[in-house]
């Protein structure tokens, strides 16, 4: 099979979907790997490294998309890539279709097979391809918030961990999944006062065991979230509903009553955001103000550390990419329930119920 890796076109997206080590694995299994020239440069990977791994460098995105049977990407297709979508092609990438009606319509009208990394789910409920990037985003969130809190950047002018005799920042993390847990861990390591909230008691119990009192855990209700947000200097939103739009847990009314210069980082922006006032931003213009608070809502946070993110992503996705290349879309999804769970569009038919609900589309169960 021909496996294509185009250069990412999203604003300031420096990751690439496959490392040379991943390309070598595919090559050794008899597949031809096509990599767009300089696709890996943003992740400190040169063309020659792919060539040594057995891949072929091609000069344009048109060559990758046009010649490939399976395309591996990091982010959902941008509008300039819609013309590349076609029947008979399988696309394997982060899709987050519940947040984009336009992308959903483009995939459906093309007749493509599209599998979303974020939807691949094992029998025990894990999301193995979402987890590594969630961990990266969670690790970055407190660093991002600390930078935004600096007075020259418009923040409150607080030191995250405080100093002797002075309160540290109050950080509220909403969501105790992979990104929320990592955000709480890093924030606590920066000596902030951290509150971790979730509506899943079992998740909070696991967090209590992990943090051993270093982080306060609180059940997330409308009342408790409001109280926590109003007392916070930083709020990190890490709410996830698999495949669906994120619920708005922080309202405009809450933000209006927050401390001036407070910072809100929405890690759920790919799924529409868990703050009412969230709108997607980019790395070159990451923040905006709502009332007196600073919002950070970059939709590809891990793209800021591509040398780490690209390796972590390939480590997770490679076994599934190999399965798709070895067996083809139909057989691979028929024999791997985790992979089948990731299918959003099959032959142009929408098969993801949560995406259909987000946009009011009809859908059909996937029979992979």
- pLDDT tens for each residue of 177-193: 999 999 999 999 999 99
C-alpha distances out from residue 338 to 69, 71, 291, 343, 361, Å? 21, 19, 43, 10, 24
pLDDT at site 353: 93
C-alpha distances in angstroms, 120 versus 40, 117, 316?
25, 6, 11
pLDDT in tens, 28-77: 999 999 999 999 999 999 999 999 999 999 999 999 999 999 999 999 99
Q: What is the pLDDT of residue 310?
A: 97
More confident residue, 21 or 241: 21
- pLDDT of 11 > 90? The answer is no
123: annotated active-site residue: no
The one catalytic residue among 27, 96, 266, 336: 96
What is the pLDDT, as a whole number, of residue 158? 95
Q: Is the pLDDT score of 203 beyond 80?
A: yes
158-166 contact pairs (CB < 8 A, 24+): 158/233, 160/187, 160/190, 160/191, 160/192, 161/190, 161/191, 161/192, 162/191
Catalytic residue (choose from 198, 233, 266, 270): 270
The two three-digit tokens of residue 314, written as one number = 């390939």
How many helices (H) and strands (E) the chain has is answered by 12, 15
**CA atoms of 174 and 266, how far apart (whole Å):** 10
Mean of per-residue pLDDT scores for the chain: 96
Determine the Cα–Cα distance for residues 295 and 234; give it in Å rounded to an integer.
Answer: 10
- What integer pLDDT is reported at residue 45 of this predicted model? 98
Neighbours of 201 (CB within 10 A): 10
Q: Does the structure show a pLDDT above 80 at 278?
A: yes
Model confidence band, residue 244 (pLDDT cutoffs 50, 70, 90): confident
The predicted structure's pLDDT at residue 245:
82
- Number of residues written out for the chain: 368
Q: Dihedrals φ, ψ of 161, to 5°? A: -95, 5
Q: What is the pLDDT of residues 119-171, one digit of tens each?
A: 999 999 999 999 999 999 999 999 999 999 999 999 999 999 999 999 999 99
Enumerate the β-bridge partners of residue 193: 170
For residue 78, is pLDDT > 90? yes
| C-alpha to C-alpha distance for 268 and 263, rounded to whole angstroms | 15
Q: Would you say residue 368 has pLDDT above 60?
A: no
User: Residue 270's pLDDT is what?
Assistant: 87
* pLDDT(328) > 90: yes
pTM score, two decimals? 0.90
Active site residue 223: no
Q: How far is CA 68 from the centre of its chain?
A: 25
């Amino acid at each position: 099979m021909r496996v294509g890796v185009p250069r990412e076109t999203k604003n300031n997206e420096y990751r690439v979907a496959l490392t040379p080590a991943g390309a070598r694995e595919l090559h050794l299994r008899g597949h031809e790997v096509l990599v767009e020239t300089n696709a890996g440069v943003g992740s400190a990977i040169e063309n020659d490294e792919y060539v040594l791994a057995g891949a072929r460098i091609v000069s344009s995105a048109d060559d990758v998309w046009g010649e490939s049977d399976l395309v591996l990407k990091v982010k959902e297709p941008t509008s300039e890539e819609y013309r590349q979508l076609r029947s008979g092609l399988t696309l394997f990438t982060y899709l987050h279709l519940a947040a984009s009606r336009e992308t959903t319509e483009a995939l459906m009208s093309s007749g493509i097979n599209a599998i979303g990394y974020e939807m691949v789910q094992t029998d025990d409920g894990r999301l193995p391809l979402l987890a590594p990037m969630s961990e990266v985003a969670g690790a970055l969130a407190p660093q991002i918030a600390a930078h935004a809190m600096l007075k020259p950047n418009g923040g409150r002018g607080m030191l995250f961990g405080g100093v002797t005799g002075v309160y540290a920042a109050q950080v509220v993390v909403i969501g105790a999944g992979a990104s929320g847990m990592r955000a709480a861990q890093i924030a606590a390591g920066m000596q902030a006062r951290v509150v971790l909230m979730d509506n899943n008691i079992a998740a909070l119990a696991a967090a209590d065991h992990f943090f051993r009192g270093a982080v306060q855990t609180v059940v997330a209700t409308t009342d408790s979230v409001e109280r926590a947000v109003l007392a916070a200097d930083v709020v990190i939103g890490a709410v996830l509903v698999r495949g669906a739009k994120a619920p708005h847990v922080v309202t405009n009314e809450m933000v209006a009553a927050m401390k001036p210069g407070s910072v809100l980082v929405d890690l759920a922006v790919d799924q529409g955001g868990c703050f009412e006032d969230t709108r997607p931003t980019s790395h070159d213009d990451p923040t905006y103000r709502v009332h007196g608070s600073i919002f950070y809502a970059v939709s590809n946070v891990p793209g800021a550390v591509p040398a780490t993110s690209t390796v972590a992503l390939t480590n997770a996705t490679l076994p599934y990419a190999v399965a798709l290349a070895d067996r083809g879309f139909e057989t691979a999804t028929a024999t791997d329930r985790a992979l089948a769970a990731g299918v959003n569009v099959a032959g142009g038919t929408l098969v993801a119920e949560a995406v259909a609900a987000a946009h009011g589309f009809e859908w059909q169960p996937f029979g992979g």
